[in-house]
Amino acid sequence: MLPFITSASRGNLLHLSVPVRPKESYHLLDDDGGPQHAPRPSLVRRFARAYSAVCLAIILAQTVAIVLLLSKKSTRGPYLYFPAEEAVQYEIKTFNFGISDDKSPYQGSPSPEVDRLWEELYSVGLQRIPKSDAARLPNKTAVIPGDPEGFYITELDVFHQLHCLNFIRKSLHPDYYPAQRLGTLENNMHVSHCVDSIRQSLMCSADISTVVWQWDATQQNNTFRGGVAHKCRNFGMIQDWARERAIPFHYDTSIHIDDSIRIPIYRSDGSSYFS
């Protein structure tokens, strides 16, 4: 028998027999025809909130990554391709101060040993690179006459700068190196070229390592100290790269070979032309 609800009205008592159905629960049916319980609404809401939070976190992380990547690219500035990039690794080097007892073996009075050390720095020859690398250079270079594979001539500028610096060093000791004595038109022009070439190289690389001032108890004064740590390219690895690609034969520099690479040749004033 169904239960009855009794309601009272003002003035008299009226019995209403209204059947009340028991609560029914509605279920989805599974594959076997049995009831399949729907998930509780609170669980669904919690899952939706968690899913939204995860999606938001992923979007935020991707946005931060893109911003950092763009910032890094903008810091590096314009890109130029150089084949020796593959040899570049960085290391921390502390410079010699170059005064008193903190001198390097490249300093001091001229001698065969000092000459050998200097010449070993840059005596790596010229390098040969394939056409595929030559086509990516920012400046056009020439084909090596007589090269069996049609490779191209290159030289890493660091070795040119070291050659220049050694020439200037020798010009400071004309009695020991009479061939580098200043006063002749050729030597004066050579030194002038070398000084300005090194100036441009220093300004281009613009080493931002921080020199410091330290207290000198003997002098009772804060004194400049240049023997500090620098972030340097591993010079030995660059030398190895150059030696491995050194042109192994002599060639005639008066021979011109036409080729299909079209790269403008740039002048220092910014203008350019095709050879």
How far is Cα 233 from Cα 238, in angstroms, rounded to an integer?
Answer: 8
Residues 187, 181 contacting (CB under 8 angstroms): yes
Per-residue tens of pLDDT for the chain, all 275 residues? 444 444 444 444 444 444 444 444 444 445 555 555 555 567 777 777 877 888 888 888 777 777 676 666 555 677 889 999 999 999 999 999 888 888 999 998 999 999 999 999 999 999 999 999 999 999 999 999 999 999 999 999 999 999 999 999 999 999 999 999 999 999 999 999 999 999 999 999 999 999 999 998 998 999 888 889 999 999 999 999 999 999 999 999 999 999 999 887 777 787 877 76
Question: Strand ranges (DSSP E) for the chain?
Answer: 4-8, 13-19, 28-29, 35-36, 90-94, 127-129, 152-154, 212-216, 221-225, 229-233, 265-266, 272-273
- DSSP letter string over 55-72? HHHHHHHHHHHHHHHHHH
How far is Cα 245 from Cα 250, in angstroms, rounded to an integer?
Answer: 14
What's the pLDDT score for residue 83?
96
Residues 255, 147 contacting (CB under 8 angstroms): no
Q: Which residues contact 211 (CB under 8 A, 6 or more apart)?
A: 224, 225, 226, 228
Q: How far is CA 144 from CA 14, 254, 274, in A?
A: 119, 11, 19
Cβ-based burial of 142 (10 A; exposed 0-12, middle 13-18, buried ≥19):
middle
Q: How far is CA 272 from CA 79, 139, 266, 267, in A?
A: 19, 10, 4, 6
Give the largest CA-CA distance in the chain: 139
* Residue 31 exposure: Cα atoms within 13 Å on the Cβ side: 0
Q: Which of 271, 248, 275 is nearest to 260 (CA)?
A: 275
What's the pLDDT score for residue 151?
97
**The token pair that represents 259 in the structure block:** 């080729």
